């Protein structure tokens, strides 16, 4: 979507975005396109959030997002440079079951992490900075925001660092984490508190020899596994035989607090049954996603408190997909920019109220 000159906002405004998942990055990009340069605070060492990869000596595993589809024109436009640069590519696998019929499936190259890395290009993302608290600062008119994040002292001990001041705040985290930061905004919190994310146990398997299966990926309706995929069938991957299996949401909930060793053994047994193989892996590791897919997304796109200039976005606002996360973030970014533009037009006394 081409932006009109009137959509641009003074770059004197500062906005903090908490979380560099796909929604946080999309929000930051939407702001940057409108002339506001946001600062993104991310607790981990890479962008992309659940669009993640685990690197091992055998090669990478996409243990979160498996693939993404692209239906919206704005999402397609944001991805066009990544596609041209080979950072994402279609995944032409042998699917045992049809999912997302008629939609091309895309993946990051050489791993799913390339999607977040590509969208983060040109954005000021501060890594390894977990945000712990947000605070309204009343010494400025209109009130602004500061945030506290974990930092390190000279001996690498944790230290609380205050950042700010910001004219607006965006929280781009799963709903439970969002609520933890929203104690000052009960009205927003009420809108979010019933959104439920389901967990997912993921199993990463590496084999010395290729498995003889007639498919590369399958969505499953069984009680234990909901998905298996030959990760090494994705484009631009290192050769080798690497698989990712996801447990169903119901099974993951039931076994949420189990010992990872037990989970590994149970999911490996299920994997052998589904693939009708008995090959023993040379690498078998599980990862627990506490928040995986949203069960009951809001139908709002994003939440925004215009009075306090604080909002939240994420897949949970509109659907359990990468594309939903992107659209949620970019629409909130446009809303924040428009609120800041409105603020700049108000007389000083009115904006102080």
Ligand X SMILES: Cc1cc2nc3c(=O)[nH]c(=O)nc-3n(C[C@H](O)[C@H](O)[C@H](O)COP(=O)(O)OP(=O)(O)OC[C@H]3O[C@@H](n4cnc5c(N)ncnc54)[C@H](O)[C@@H]3O)c2cc1C
Q: Which of 16, 19, 185, 297 binds ligand X (CB under 6 A)?
A: 19
Least separation in angstroms between CB 294 and ligand X = 8
CA distances to 35, 56, 204 from 285, in Å: 44, 10, 5
Which range of residues in 5-13, 71-79, 235-243, 321-329 is near ligand X by CB under 6 A?
Answer: 321-329
Nearer to ligand X, 22 or 36 (CB): 22
Q: What span, in angstroms and rounded, lies between the C-alpha atoms of 22 and 24?
A: 6
Q: By CB under 6 A, tell whether 333 contacts ligand X.
A: no
Enumerate the β-bridge partners of residue 286: 203
Least separation in angstroms between CB 244 and ligand X = 9
Q: By CB under 6 A, tell whether 115 contacts ligand X.
A: no
DSSP state of 281: P
Which range of residues in 156-164, 170-178, 251-259, 301-309 is near ligand X by CB under 6 A?
Answer: 170-178
Q: By CB under 6 A, tell whether 167 contacts ligand X.
A: no
60: helix, strand or coil? strand
Q: By CB under 6 A, tell whether 145 contacts ligand X.
A: no
Q: By CB under 6 A, tell whether 67 contacts ligand X.
A: yes
Q: By CB under 6 A, tell whether 41 contacts ligand X.
A: yes
Q: By CB under 6 A, tell whether 322 contacts ligand X.
A: yes
Q: What span, in angstroms and rounded, lies between the C-alpha atoms of 164 and 108?
A: 34
Least separation in angstroms between CB 313 and ligand X = 7
Do the beta carbons of residue 311 and residue 336 sit within 8 Å? yes
Q: What span, in angstroms and rounded, lies between the C-alpha atoms of 50 and 34?
A: 27
Q: By CB under 6 A, tell whether 120 contacts ligand X.
A: no
Residue 337 burial (CB count, 10 A): 26
Nearer to ligand X, 95 or 142 (CB): 95
Q: By CB under 6 A, tell whether 16 contacts ligand X.
A: no
Q: By CB under 6 A, tell whether 177 contacts ligand X.
A: yes
Least separation in angstroms between CB 254 and ligand X = 17
Q: By CB under 6 A, tell whether 35 contacts ligand X.
A: no
Least separation in angstroms between CB 246 and ligand X = 5
Do the beta carbons of residue 21 and residue 330 sit within 8 Å? no
Instruction: Restricting to residues 282-311, name those near ligand X by CB under 6 A.
Output: 289, 292-293
Q: By CB under 6 A, tell whether 18 contacts ligand X.
A: yes
CA distances to 200, 269, 279, 308 from 265, in Å: 16, 6, 14, 49
Q: What span, in angstroms and rounded, lies between the C-alpha atoms of 78 and 123?
A: 14
Q: By CB under 6 A, tell whether 29 contacts ligand X.
A: no
| 14-25 b/e (C-beta count within 10 Å ≥ 16 → b) | bbbbbbbbbbbb
Q: By CB under 6 A, tell whether 216 contacts ligand X.
A: no
Structure tokens at 43: 């607790």
Least separation in angstroms between CB 293 and ligand X = 6
Cis peptide before 211 (omega within 30 of 0): no
CA distances to 285, 288, 303 from 332, in Å: 37, 29, 8
How many amino acids of this chain bind ligand X (CB under 6 A)?
Answer: 37
Q: Which of 246, 255, 264, 309 binds ligand X (CB under 6 A)?
A: 246
User: Could you tell me how many residues make up the chain?
Assistant: 353
Structure tokens at 185: 């905004």
Q: Which of 9, 16, 22, 114 binds ligand X (CB under 6 A)?
A: 22
Q: Which of 108, 118, 174, 333 binds ligand X (CB under 6 A)?
A: 174
Q: What span, in angstroms and rounded, lies between the C-alpha atoms of 38 and 168?
A: 10
| Interface contacts to ligand X, rule CB under 6 A | 18-24, 41-44, 49-51, 64-68, 130-131, 172-174, 177, 200, 202, 246, 289, 292-293, 314-315, 320-322, 325
């Amino acid at each position: 979507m081409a932006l009109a000159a009137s959509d641009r906002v003074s770059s004197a405004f500062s906005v903090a975005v908490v979380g560099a998942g796909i929604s946080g990055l999309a929000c930051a990009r939407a702001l940057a396109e409108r002339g506001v340069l946001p600062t993104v605070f991310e607790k981990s060492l890479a962008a992309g959030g659940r669009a993640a990869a685990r690197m091992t000596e055998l090669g990478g595993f996409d243990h979160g997002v498996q693939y993404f589809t692209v239906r919206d024109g704005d999402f397609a436009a944001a991805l066009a440079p990544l596609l041209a640069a080979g950072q994402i590519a279609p995944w032409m696998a042998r699917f045992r079951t049809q999912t997302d019929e008629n939609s091309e499936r895309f993946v990051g190259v050489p791993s799913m992490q390339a999607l977040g890395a590509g969208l983060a290009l040109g954005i000021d993302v501060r890594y390894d900075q977990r945000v712990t608290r947000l605070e309204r600062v009343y010494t400025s008119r209109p009130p602004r925001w500061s945030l506290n994040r974990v930092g390190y002292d000279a001996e690498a001990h944790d230290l609380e660092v205050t950042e700010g001041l910001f004219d607006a705040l965006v929280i781009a985290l799963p709903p439970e984490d969002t609520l933890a930061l929203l104690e000052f905004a009960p009205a927003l919190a009420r809108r979010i508190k019933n959104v439920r994310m389901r967990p997912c146990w993921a199993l990463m398997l590496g084999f010395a020899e290729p498995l003889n299966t007639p498919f590369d990926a399958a969505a499953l309706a069984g009680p234990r596994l909901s998905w298996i995929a030959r990760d090494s069938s994705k484009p631009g991957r290192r050769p080798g035989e690497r698989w990712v299996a996801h447990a169903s949401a119901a099974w993951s909930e039931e076994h949420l607090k189990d010992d990872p060793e037990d989970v590994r053994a149970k999911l490996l047994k299920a994997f052998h049954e589904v693939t009708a193989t008995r090959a023993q892996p040379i690498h078998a590791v599980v990862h627990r996603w506490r928040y995986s897919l949203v069960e009951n997304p809001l139908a709002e796109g994003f939440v925004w408190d215009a009075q306090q200039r604080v909002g939240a976005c994420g897949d949970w606002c509109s659907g359990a997909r990468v594309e939903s996360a992107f659209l949620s973030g970019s629409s909130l970014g446009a809303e924040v920019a428009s609120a800041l533009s409105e603020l700049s037009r108000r007389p000083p006394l009115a904006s102080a109220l």
